[in-house]
Structure 1
């Protein structure tokens, strides 16, 4: 069913809140509210979309140009850690920074000012990431002394200069001997040291990055060879055999690094290998996400949220007859898993319940096409090593045991994916969560997703709904409540363990033990969670709860004060597109922005729970 928006709802959802307050007279004004009716219908009322387009950001085309030009340069200079790639990207970013300064900030509409700040922050972040890449290139250099030779081969081709077949064959032949010698030395050293080689300045994380770079160089060499082989007879005559030998040598060398310096053995669960960025490394991420808190302050927020959730867990445990032993109640819920093959059908029922419940609240517009097109698929056993739960979107992938898993793996997967644990996460992944976010991102302000995909907006929004639905009595029974609190506790725990890991305070094993002992995870699922944390962006895991708390604080400011209805608030967030929540706040309040605007919103208020 498609409801008609009230004029006030349509106005605040589709027009630009700041435009009304701050746009100069020369800029397009907000269209008549009645013209905006019907954007969510299937098919939509086209005049509503025309009205929306007339009030878009002044910098939309600039953002698209930045994103597309950066991507084009990345494709033109595809060799990672290449000095040529770094130099070209640095010139690109610095050139854009200079051009951005030339813009008359005050002449922009509010959406344009928001995009100005987003673009400015992204350029600063991209430059910081170039510095990080250069640092990492130096760290892996001792393990990849041949990297520059492969780089030059491919970049010469991309510079539109022809390779000399005989010289190329000689170079590849020399590289075969070099790489084979490196592999042999590593294998021999491993034999003397019981299989694990430790070299000064080379951590397992650096070694893994080096092995992955060897694989990248192998693919680079393949691209170079494919361009000539079979098309240039002289090239094929000279190069085909040394190329095949070097391809095999790269494969063996990457495997040797993984086995003897990282500890990844074929047929065995890989160790948890990560690269903590430490306090200094977190600064660029906190800046681009506009989080004005220190890591220590964020950990304290996580601990306060964890304590509140644990208190609620005890209340539910008492209602279930387990006293204050909430972990006993959790254990009971873990054993309520359906038999193999039944999980998709259980989750279809939960999805139907969730959408109906939220529709009846009348707090967000849910386009009927978005509800029609989502579907389920099953997560592979390999992927479950990194994500033992859901991964959402239009195609949402479910985790559950397969017949090829070992018995212990089957049991842990079932116990971690009971319907009551899945209950709060179905809407998180579908509607109004990630699927609806993606649906809207592709249709409104789509330039922002490419520029500023931020987990604080993406994951924060999905978890925010879990918080709101808890307050609205969403749970069907006590096991559902345990499931909702379990995941909420898990997201508070993510702040605590992931930041302690990134700061170098906790080892991966300490993180796993924390999730098992304090949150109640199955060990295999806890290991998968930490493995994912070790490979994700540094702030990704804290973004769930932190982003949700930001949106909840903004809801109190705008909805509970009576300035907006819930429907207006929720629609406006989705239509605005991904951005740090502080800029969502600026967009919805029409806050006066300056070109040098910095993060300043201290959103957390424990007393306001």
Structure 2
């Protein structure tokens, strides 16, 4: 495993440094076509070698099978090469590499600036590779448009936002100067993408989609079954919400009830952040009082505005974990601010989808005992490979599982907060239906937006952003409710306390659900 991780980190230096591995902070890596194609052959060799590996203990077997699942997923995706289809393959590593180190501040500022300047020097080359590698027959206009939205934030982000995070005035000026060539490279990429004409599709297709579910996620079923699970879950939740809604608006029309609840929202983006911070502390105190999990020593969850570079492509709250290969246990719950160019009405709609009734569920999901608690606790696992590879089918599944678990514990104690909790869940059931239909059937983007706006209580603008995300990240959207259902099923067969179950399964990593079940059964 150590040898495999050394190979993996050398080919993914940004990921390595974000995880906290030493020695990778000064480079973005090789984004040439030669590097991408060579990686496939190396992955095949690792799959062959590790498939024949003897494992002396059950935990060793889980480690090996975790890596094999990753390798099979990568090789399956070789037929769907992101680096030829999507500018995000180049933009996301740049943004993360430049922003996250200054956000987490795990090293002295002079070291952070030196590493950032080294990486800035590579930005023009990475963006040149983007222009060279994008294939007009494979790239989809929707993906290019998303990338263009991010690219337009590049100059401001590198030349103003990142330097503003540097406290020392001299270092700040030095970093801003080094960012100018990178800023010009982003200007060139924007011009290129504005004129780039392409005719590829964002639809993955049922064959590859099902292969990823079975071989990477180890779920034991494919896209058609996942689609039907989503429809069944939606129907069951719809029935329960009809029972709860009268306590909110006197009728069983839960959509109308949610519309009314969304009118009670913070007045500004800044106020939204403040109220989320208060709700995060309340959730933490509740979990501690009920003794539902073991808290890692030194854990802290900051609640901050979302980074400017993700605002054009991510309309919901999200979380940045502490680097698991370090001793840090400080994570960040990012509140979904709008891009600077949004109108007053667009900002109001964003505030409405973060209403006061919805905030408890979202804070539980992102912070306690959702993502922040899980990923802080998981970082204490001594097995390095489990801290490096995790799947959203566990991590997002866990965060949705704990929403339901806290409801069982009485956290959502009013009809309004219970209905909002159920709305968060039915929203995830709708995602299961829509993601599979978009990529494996013939549902149009417009039909998907209508589905999300009527089968869940999303504003039209948020529904539009959500569907764009599903087109760009196939298989990710269903992970939430799929994983929550599977974790509930595993809990039913566990003979022990609720706290010990939580500590055990969440501490085992962010494993594919089949391996998580093995970890619990073998404990």
TM-score, with structure 2 as normaliser: 0.72
CA deviations over 1:312-345 (Å, ceiling 9, x no partner): 2111211224311111111110111132243233
1:64 to 2:5 alignment: yes
Q: 1:317 to 1:209 in 2, by over 3 A?
A: closer
Q: For residue 442 of structure 1, what is the aligned residue in structure 2?
A: 379
Larger gyration radius, structure 1 or structure 2: 1
CA deviations over 1:100-130 (Å, ceiling 9, x no partner): 244334xx11100111212222222233333
- SS of the equivalent of 1:469 reads helix
CA deviations over 1:30-79 (Å, ceiling 9, x no partner): xxxxxxxxxxxxxxxxxxxxxxxxxxxxx5x3553453354379999955
Q: 1:380 to 1:115 in 2, by over 3 A?
A: closer
Picking from 429, 432, 435, the partner of 1:495 is 432
Q: For residue 117 of structure 1, what is the aligned residue in structure 2?
A: 65
Q: CA RMSD for the aligned pairs?
A: 3.6
The within-5 A match list for 1:372-387 is 373-379=300-306, 383-387=310-314
Unaligned runs of 5+ in 1: 1-58, 141-174, 183-198, 216-243, 264-272, 592-609
Q: For residue 508 of structure 2, what is the aligned residue in structure 1?
A: 576
Q: For residue 127 of structure 1, what is the aligned residue in structure 2?
A: 75
Q: 1:510 to 1:567 in 2, by over 3 A?
A: same
Equivalenced residue count is 425
Q: 1:321 to 1:77 in 2, by over 3 A?
A: closer
- SS of the equivalent of 1:365 reads coil
Shift of 1:401: 6.2
Q: For residue 96 of structure 1, what is the aligned residue in structure 2?
A: 46
Q: Quick one: distance in 1 between partners of 2:312 and 2:46?
A: 41
Q: For residue 343 of structure 1, what is the aligned residue in structure 2?
A: 272
The within-5 A match list for 1:70-81 is 70-71=11-12, 78-80=29-31
TM-score, with structure 1 as normaliser: 0.63
Q: For residue 352 of structure 2, what is the aligned residue in structure 1?
A: 415
Q: For residue 229 of structure 2, what is the aligned residue in structure 1?
A: 301
Q: Quick one: distance in 2 between partners of 1:330 and 1:586?
A: 40
Could you tell which deviates more after superposition, 491-500 or 338-347? 338-347
Picking from 286, 292, 297, the partner of 2:220 is 292
Q: 1:580 to 1:318 in 2, by over 3 A?
A: same
- SS of the equivalent of 1:310 reads helix
Q: 1:472 to 1:379 in 2, by over 3 A?
A: same
Q: 1:414 to 1:121 in 2, by over 3 A?
A: closer
Picking from 475, 479, 489, the partner of 1:539 is 475
Which structure's relative contact order is higher, taking Cα pairs within 8 Å and 6+ residues apart?
A: 1
Q: 1:207 to 1:305 in 2, by over 3 A?
A: closer
Q: For residue 194 of structure 2, what is the aligned residue in structure 1?
A: 258
Q: 1:399 to 1:83 in 2, by over 3 A?
A: closer
Picking from 452, 456, 461, the partner of 2:389 is 452
The within-5 A match list for 1:114-513 is 114-133=62-81, 137=84, 203-205=140-142, 255=191, 257-259=193-195, 261=197, 275-286=202-213, 287-340=215-268, 341-370=270-299, 373-379=300-306, 383-393=310-320, 394-400=331-337, 405-445=342-382, 447-449=384-386, 451-513=388-450
Q: 1:524 to 1:445 in 2, by over 3 A?
A: farther
Q: Quick one: distance in 2 between partners of 1:382 and 1:97?
A: 36
Q: Quick one: distance in 2 between partners of 1:118 and 1:310?
A: 36
Unaligned runs of 5+ in 2: 16-23, 87-127, 153-180, 321-330
Could you tell which deviates more after superposition, 323-332 or 312-321? 312-321
Shift of 1:514: 0.8
Q: Quick one: distance in 2 between partners of 1:79 and 1:66?
A: 14
Q: 1:481 to 1:385 in 2, by over 3 A?
A: farther
- SS of the equivalent of 1:473 reads coil
Q: Quick one: distance in 1 between partners of 2:287 and 2:274?
A: 20
Q: 1:452 to 1:513 in 2, by over 3 A?
A: same
Q: Quick one: distance in 1 between partners of 2:368 and 2:477?
A: 21
Q: For residue 234 of structure 1, what is the aligned residue in structure 2?
A: none
Q: 1:532 to 1:403 in 2, by over 3 A?
A: closer
Shift of 1:471: 2.3
CA deviations over 1:267-320 (Å, ceiling 9, x no partner): xxxxxx971211122134211110111211111111111111111211121122
